[in-house]
A = this chain, B = another copy of it.
Amino acid sequence: MESGLSTTEYAVLGLLTIKPMSGYEMRQLVAESIGHFWSESYGQLYPSLKRLRGAGLVSMKSDKSSKRDKHIYSITTQGREALAAWLALPAKPQPPRSELLLKLFFLSPGDAATTIEQVNGARDRALEELRHLGFVEAKIRSENAGQSQLQQWLYTLHFGRHRAEAVVRWADEILLGLEGEAEARNSESKT
């Protein structure tokens, strides 16, 4: 069912609404602007562009001006229509697959040290992401002041922030409980 296009292909269409771009440029843009919730590799990008072109959803022209021929892709009217239709469809929730939770689930309470390490690792990564998101937000706020799309970008950034904050809260909850246990054991052995 659905619309025949893969999610990657819709992502490509979306990127081309920002501006006409080469495959290489798209890759960069994905990595720096939506890297916290999306990724694309060349192995997906180039074949997708080819298919989309075949379907008339994007057009291509060679830019021989500056350096050596570079392929600049643009979204067509049909492409915009296909994208708009997809954007209005409810996003399907993706089943999360977490290696971290898998490990925690199977670790035994006797391995408290390993549990703590894993939880701490997740906490550190979340803190790091929080810093990174703050940095990105400051950057796009200054670079895109007044840009109409800015608000939408902030939505995705804020999602990342709430997600990371949740991880920190969760980790603190566990770490506190584990410390409490250790203390209880301690005072017990002293009595």
Residues of A at under 8 Å CB distance from B? 7, 10-11, 14, 17, 34, 36-39, 83, 86-88, 90-109, 111, 114-115, 117-119, 121-122, 125, 148-149, 151-153, 155-156, 158-159, 162-163, 165-167, 169-170, 173-174
Contact partners of A111 in chain B: CB under 8 A: 87-88
Q: Are A166 and B162 in contact (CB under 8 A)?
A: yes
Q: Are B100 and A87 in contact (CB under 8 A)?
A: no
> With contacts A17-B106, A169-B162, A170-B158 known, is A97 near B149, CB below 8 A?
no
CB distance from A104 to the nearest CB of B (A): 5
Q: Are B99 and A87 in contact (CB under 8 A)?
A: no
Instruction: Identify which of B7, B34, B115 contacts A105 (C-beta below 8 A).
Output: B34
